[in-house]
Amino acid sequence: MKTCILNERDYYRRVYGGWLGKNIGGTLGAPVEGKKELLSLDFYPVLQDGPLENDDLDLQLVWLHALEQYGPKLTSKELGQEWLEHVFFPFDEYGYALTNLRRGITPPLAGQFNNPFTNCMGSPIRSEIWGMASPGAPHVAAHYAYQDAVVDHAGGEGVYGEMFFAAIESAVFIVQDRDRLIEIGMSYIPAESRTTKALRDLLHWHKEGKSWLEARELILKHHGDDNFTDAPQNIAFTILGWLYGEDFEDAILKAVNCGYDTDCTAATLGAILGMISGPEGLPERWVKPVGDRIVVSAPIKGFPAPANLDELTKRTIRMGKHVLAAWDTDIIVHDQLATDLTGIIAETSDAVRELWERNASVDRRLLPANSIEPLGLELRIDYGSGGPAISRGQRKRVSVEVINHSLTCWRGTVALECPREWEETTAQDMLLEAGESSVFEWEVVMNGGAAPSYELTLIVNREHDGALWASCKERLALTAASEWTVWGPGAEADSGGTKAVFGGNRIEWENVLPNEGDGVYRAQTRLCNPVERRLRLITASSGLVSASLNGQTIIDCAEKEEFMPAYHRAPKSQSAELTLPAGQHELEISAQRDGEPLMVYVLPVAVQKTKQPGPFYYYTDMLFLNEE
C-alpha cells in the first residue's frame, strides 16, 4: 500500500472548521433543547459574548486529554477513568454510568448494567474528536467511537450513532460528497439497527420527493420515541438537515427546527459541514457571535482545557499524528507536500463488525495487566442473570472464559478470591495451549453484612517447571442488589408478600409475579442511610405511583406522566426532597398497571444545590434491604 499524504494546512482547516461548526450548532440549539414541537428559528435564539456551554463539546475536551494522557491505544477502561476524574454530569445515561463506575464496575458493564438510557444521544454527540484524530481512517475512528460509547451506552443505539458519525467525520478527509459520506457512515453500523432503519427510510423519502416537513413527520411516526434524546430519531433529524439544506445556514436551521435534541442535531451537522467547507466556508453572521472562544461547563474539571479553538485544533492535530502512526495507517501529515489520499478504502472492516457482535454484559480483560493488544490471555467474565449485583445469602454463578492468544502454553491455576465472610471457592487447574480457550465457573455465596459493593479478585497463577512463576490479579466488583418484598393486585394488605432481589433500581414485579395482570402493585423495603443528608427520592414510573416513608406519604402521583427515570429530570410529581436522618427507614411503593408493562425506578440522589459543581448524583452508599 502506498504512503498517503495529508497536508498539515488542510488538516488544520478541516479540524478548525469542524470545531467552529460544532460551537455554532450547539449555541443555536442549546436554548431550545427538549422542545418536541416544530420550531421556527432563523438565527441564534440567545446571543451572548461567545458560544454557550454544551456537553457536546465539553466531553470531547476530556477525550482529547485522555489521548494525551494515555496515548493512541486507549480503551474504554481509560475513558471510564476519565469520567470518574473529570466528568460530574448527572444527565440520563451519564448519571447511571458514573454510578456504576463509582461502584467499581468497568465498561462495557458500566454502560449496560441498570441503564435505561443506552439508546440515547449522549455518545453520538461526541464523535468529532475520533474522526478528527483519525483523518482518512474511518475504521480507526469507529473503533474509538465504540470504546467511548460503551462506557455509558453499551448494548444500545447510542453506540451505533457514535460509530456512524465518527466514520463520516474521518472520511471527510478523503471525500466531501454528501451521499458518499452517508453511505460510508452507514457501512459502519449494523443493517438491523434502529439507526440504520431510520436513515434508510429517510433516504428513501428524500429520493421520493417528500418535503422536509413530511420527512420529519414520517421519522416521528415510524422511528420516534417519547424521550427527546432517543438516538435514531435525532440522528435522522441531523441527516435530514444535511439532505434538505440548501447551504450551511439552511441545513442547521432545518435540523434544529425539527425539535427534540436540538443542540445535538445542530452541533453535529454544524461540525460535519464545517469540516467539509473549512472555516472560510462558514457564514460570517454565524461565526461572529461565537468567535474563537471555548466555554467549559463547571462540572467538567481537573484537566488543562484548551483556551480557544486554535489551541484545540493544534492539540487535536498533534494527537492525530500519533494515532495515524500507532494504527499503521500509511497516512503521513506533512507541512510541505500536497494532500493525496487517493486509494484509501473507506468501507468498514471485519474488526469493526466484530465490535457489533460483542456481548455488552460480558466484562473483557487482557492479561498481563495494561496490555493494549490481545497477545497474552483474554478474560471474558460473565456475571449471569442480574448482572454484577448480589444480595445477602444469594448464590451467584460467575463464569470466566480464558483465551490464550499467545504463542506458547499457559499452565497453572485460576482462582476467584471472595470477601472473607463469603463461602470459600476452589482454585481450578488451567492448561491452555496456544490458541485454546477454556471456561471456569464458580458459585459464590454472599455471607456477612451488607455493603454498597464487594471486591473480588480473579487470580491467574502461571507455573513453570512445577513452580509458581508469576501471578496476574484482576479486581472485580459486585454491587449490592436491591431487596424488596412485593405484592400483586388483590393481595391482602397484611399478607406476607414475596421476597425479591433486583440487580438494579427497577422493581421488576413481572419477574417475581409473572401471571399477574392490571391493578395496584406494592413493594416494601428498608432504605438504609449511613449519614443524615438532604436528598431527592425519585419513583420514576410509567403509571400512577405513590410512596410512603416510615408510614408518611411523600409522593402521590395521581396523573400519568412521561416515563423518565433520570436523576435530574424525573417528573416533579414522582419525586420528593427531604432531609433523611441516618438509619433504616421503611419505604413502600404502590404503582398502578393499566394495560402496559409497569416500569418503576427508585432512585436516591443528591439535590440540585451541592457544595461542588455536579448535582443530582446517585448516593451509592444507600442500600435497599429486607428484614434479616
Q: Report phi then psi at 125, rounded to 5.
A: -75, -10
Q: What is the pairing mode between strands 377-382 and 362-367?
A: antiparallel
Grid coordinates standing for 408? 506458547
Query: Nearest to residue 365, comparing CAs of 381, 350, 341?
Result: 381
Strand 4-7, strand 410-417: pairing: unpaired
**Tell me, what DSSP letter sits at residue 486?**
E
Helix (H, G, I), strand (E, B) or coil at 234: helix
The rounded distance, in Å, linking the Cα atoms of 288 and 202 is 33
> What confidence score (pLDDT) does residue 1 get?
63
Cα distance between residue 178 and residue 182, in whole Å: 6
What is the rounded CA–CA span in Å between residue 329 and residue 313? Answer: 21
Strand order in the sheet with 428-432: 389-390, 467-480, 453-464, 410-417, 428-432
Contact 49, 243 (CB under 8 A): no
Burial string for 589-614 (b: 16+ CB within 10 Å, else e) reads bbbbbeeeebbbbbbbbbeeeeeeeb
Which residues in 386-409 are b (16+ Cβ under 10 Å) and which e?
bbbbbbbebebebebbbbbbbeee
Listed residue (97, 111, 122, 86) closest to 618, CA to CA: 97
In the chain (628 residues long), the average pLDDT of successive 10-residue segments reads 92 98 98 98 93 95 98 97 97 98 97 98 98 97 98 98 98 97 97 98 98 98 97 98 98 98 98 98 97 95 97 98 96 97 84 94 94 95 95 95 97 96 95 98 94 97 95 97 95 86 97 92 98 98 97 97 97 98 98 94 97 94 91
Could you give the CA distance from residue 158 to residue 92 in angstroms, rounded to a whole number?
A: 12
H helix runs in 482-625, sequence order: 509-512
CB atoms within 10 A of CB 58: 22
Calpha distance 66→45 (Å, rounded): 34
CA torsion, ordered 482, 484, 490, 492, to nearest 10 deg: -170
231-244 and 262-277 helices, crossing angle to 10°: 40
Give 548's DSSP letter: E
Beta carbons of 160 and 143 less than 8 angstroms apart:
no
pTM of the predicted model, to two decimals?
Answer: 0.97
pLDDT 10s digits, 506-557: 999 999 998 889 999 999 999 999 999 999 999 999 999 999 999 999 999 9
Tell me whether residue 514 is exposed, middle or buried, using C-beta atoms within 10 angstroms of its C-beta: 0 to 12, 13 to 18, 19 or more: exposed
Per-residue cell: 473: 490479579
What is the phi/psi pair of residue 184, to 5°? -60, -50
Q: Cα Rg for the chain, rounded, in angstroms?
A: 26
- Cα separation, 581 vs 335, in Å, equals 65
Q: Pairing state of beta strands 437-445 and 395-404?
A: antiparallel
Q: What is the per-residue pLDDT for 515?
A: 86
- Pairing of β 575-580 and β 533-541: antiparallel
Report how far residue 359's alpha carbon sits from residue 578's, in angstroms, rounded to the nearest whole number.
40
Cβ neighbors of 521 (< 8 A, separation 6 or more) are: 486, 487, 488, 489, 507, 509, 513, 590, 591, 592, 593, 598
Sorted by where each starts, the structural domains of the chain and their CATH numbers stand as 4-352 (1.10.4080.10), 361-479 (2.60.40.10), 482-625 (2.60.120.260)
The CA-based angle 618-393-440, given to 5 degrees, is: 90
